[in-house]
Amino acid sequence: MKKVRITVLKTTLDKELAAEYGIEGLTACPMMKAICSCNDGLRPVIFKLEATDEDSHV
């Protein structure tokens, strides 16, 4: 199995949904380095995944 390079392309905020369902002052995801961050549906983070030539070790 090969290693994968993960790059954050964009952090977003669905302002309409955030206004209706979020808390006041909600912003785009500030924790963009963690894959599991901001998985509330209001602040999606778009990632680019690239396979590398480097082998993964378990």
Domain locations along the chain = 2-55
DSSP, residue by residue, the chain: -EEEEEEEEEE---HHHHHHHS-TT--S-S-TTSTTTT-SSSS-EEEEEEEEEEEP--
What was the pLDDT predicted at 39? 76
56 phi and psi, to 5 degrees? -90, 145
The per-residue pLDDT for 43 is 87
Q: Answer whether residue 54 shows pLDDT above 90.
A: yes
Mean pLDDT computed over every residue of the chain: 87
pLDDT in tens, 13-33: 999 999 999 999 998 888 767
